[in-house]
Amino acid sequence: MPLIDKAQKNIVYTNFEDEITEMRGDDVIDIPKMTGLQYEKKVKEYLSDHLDHIVIHRLRTNQALTETDLNGLDDTLTDIGDKDGKVLLSGPLKSSGSPSISVLVRQMVGMDRQAAVEAFSEFLSDRNLTSNQMRFVEMVIDQLTSRGVMGADVLYETPFTNIHSGGPEQLFSGQENVIQGLFEKLESLSSNLDKKAG
């Protein structure tokens, strides 16, 4: 390479002027200030830092919310996302399958353990239940404490099937009133979240 003769090149000067042919000012893309994941993280941080807030406390302890409570909760979660709050809030609602903001928040903060114990106290005090049946009820309380809400379909999954692979009907065979009562209690705990206090 160093032995190859270098060719002499002439320098060429040009004088072009830029021409603006078209401006598209109305197609500006508005980029959100935060992503859906960032928003969800901020919401979780806010909720965990404000567990003693009256509305969050009511949700965790299974108390009915007022219209003012629900509107305030909506405003707070929207404000966390600034001007994109409404759009960002719809993301966690959709991904979690939550029918409402109150259900979403309960899923994020869980249910107060004492409130869950009180909700299932009639089953815990039932002397006719076997130790496995009692453990099943205690697992329901454990799951509600961490999940906040759950449907009866969860009772057919692990860890519940670890107690009895045949599901709750087999575990509570001959005690259909107990399993029916458990289903109704789970349903009422979920439906109470959307009931408004008078």
| Pair of tokens at residue 23 | 């401006």
Report the SS3 class of residue 123. Answer: helix
pLDDT score of 1: 56
Domains of the chain, by residue range, sit at 36-109, 113-191
Rounded CA separation 139/132 (Å):
10
pLDDT digits (tens, 9 = 90+) for 107-134: 999 999 999 999 999 999 999 999 999 9
**Amino acid at residue number 83:** K
What is the pTM for the complete model shown? Answer: 0.78
pLDDT digits (tens, 9 = 90+) for 161-190: 999 999 999 999 999 999 999 999 999 998
pLDDT category at 30 given cuts 50, 70, 90 is low
